[in-house]
Amino acid sequence: MLLQSPRYIRMSVILTAHLGLFFVAYVGAFMLRFDFSVPEVWLPVLGSTVGLIMGVKALVFYTAGQYAGWWRYVGLKDLMAVVRATALATLIFVAINFIFLESRHFPRSVYLLDFILTVVLVGGVRVSVRLFREMMSERARGGQEGVRRLLIIGAGDTCETLLRETEKNRNLQFRPVALVDDDPRKRGLRIHHVPVVGSVDDLVEVVKAHEIDEIVIATPSATRDQLRRITERCQETGIKPKILPAVESVLAGRGALGSLREVAIEDLLGRKEVRLDQAAIGAYAAGKTVLVTGAGGSIGSEICRQVCRFAPARLIMLEQAENPLFDIERELRARYLGAIELIPVIADICDAARIESVFGQYRPGVVLHAAAHKHVPLMEANPGEAVRNNVLGTRNVARAAASSGAMSVVMISTDKAINPTSVMGTTKRLAELYVQGMARKHPRTQFIAVRFGNVLGSNGSVIPIFREQILKGGPVTVTHPEMQRYFMTIPEATQLVLQAAARGESGEVFVLDMGEPVRIVDLARDMIRLSGLTPDRDIEIVFTGMRPGEKLFEELSQGDESIAKTDHEKIYIGKVSRLDLELLEREVPAFVRLIEAADPIAIKRHLKRLVPEFAFVAPEDEADGADEGGDEGGEKIISFPA
């Protein structure tokens, strides 16, 4: 009611209330000092100083902003502010008393008693307002239909934040009734009156005993294995858990308090937050014209989003597919209209003349080359298109960037370029070699490549495929029970690309730390469990056999390569073999002829000649028993330096 009143009315009421409390505290101090019977000799002193002490306190409290607080949210810091303001007012009153009023025989204990009573009365009234509101809110929530009994896993800071949120926010239809935590020292403790009743292993019993309707995971520091164990226990209860973002994520704008969500497969990967050198990336991108190829794809669109965080002058979004380009341009225009010049360009990187024209018109300073054909089985069936797009398209972009005076070109590569068993991987390796050759020929332009593995949720990746299969009731198809892949989230991969670009030197190939490889069948089982189902009972897992060009294991460095540390914990420099640029240029006409002839075997033979580690054996060679393949299994994993 008071909140809807004009400000001068609110201030008048609050000031009057405080003056009344100051009066009661001062008179009460005299009463306590003299056992509730103030001698007549002290009554004139009380009468002559009560107005002074009330005025001093009123002025100090106003200066300290004590009339602007919202009492329904009062906390410990607010009470400490009351203590500080009261202490300052008491010191000023003592000084005035001694210097101007010469009341040297004033009862000194009154100063202390008045200080204590003021803190108790003012603080008590404010706390009472909050307690009354919370009590009424709890009573109202208790009478509402649909209020769900909540169990929180993890009795830490994030849990405490959630408990406070549920206390003050009536829109959250939850009533926390129990907490569980694996730390035995917390057993029996309470946070905001909610008890810690057991550990994660006790979930089934706790859910039954407390009639739990919802489970929330509030353990942002949990490892992948810990989170998997928690979700498995939750599945035994029949309740799909939700997860709360860490307080740090909320403050950084990546989540909202109370924005509970279901546990995602990204959570089970246990990827740590990326640490970025914001200043270095800002110096790299801020105020420049940045061009992103493949801007409508999963990686390209996220690169556009991340680049915009660092305020480029212009962002050129180059894409051959109309609809994805329309989507990313509309998204960014809604967010950055007026701050960044956004230019969508429909163009195919295989069209050399068109690419030269675009680069000549806009003269980008930074080029982030994400356009590529990436699907291994499709490229096995269409090797000519893989060469045209991944090799010749990269050549067009690199040459146009150099001729237009670009400062930097970053090519997005893949772990499949290492000891390649596929056409896709081999063409990406050739693109790496071409970019390195351009670095030597054009020293004024920085050319680098960045390798990483699979990204979660990208177009055509395993995650959306598994999700679709689960929604249809299965089966979930996995090629091989031992198939392993490295995984990153799309934002993590793109942020590290920008970080490597900002720190790199021309000609380098950067390798991103992909963490531990994940078995695809384990990923499938995790996704089935997250859907509230049981693998091999509700959803069948079927092994379909490896497809052409696939490996069981991916690598991030070749056998004859080594990787060196950088000053970033997740970025390494690959010491890779090189190939003469002039040799590559001489091979371009041959590739063009082979593409026009549409001879897949001849194209693969030509790729094999340029990239000897390509594990390809022509059918006639197989018939002769020849073994021209490289490391076909690709099972040797190059570990990162300790």
Active site residue ranges: 416
> Coil, strand, or helix at residue 337?
coil
- Residue 242's DSSP bridge partners are 216, 262
Helix (H) or strand (E) holding 566: none
Please state whether beta strands 541-543 and 476-478 pair in parallel, antiparallel, or not at all (unpaired).
Answer: parallel
- Enter the tokens of residue 421: 């068993």
Cα-only R_g, the chain: 34
Q: Which residues contact 112 (CB under 8 A, 6 or more apart)?
A: none
Say if residues 238 and 208 touch (Cβ distance below 8 Å): no
> Coil, strand, or helix at residue 188?
coil
- C-alpha–C-alpha distance, residues 539 and 440, integer Å: 54
Beta strand spans in 362-517 (E):
366-369, 408-414, 446-452, 454-456, 476-478, 484-485, 487-489, 509-512
Question: What does the angle CA 386 – CA 580 – CA 503 come to, to the nearest 5 degrees?
Answer: 80
Least Cα distance to 392 among 153, 593, 187, 173 occurs for 593
Alpha-helix residue ranges (DSSP H) falling in 102-202: 108-143, 157-168
Least Cα distance to 216 among 165, 169, 170, 254 occurs for 165
Residue 603 is which amino acid?
A: I
Provide the CA 471 distance to its chain's centre, in angstroms. 26
- DSSP label of 603: H
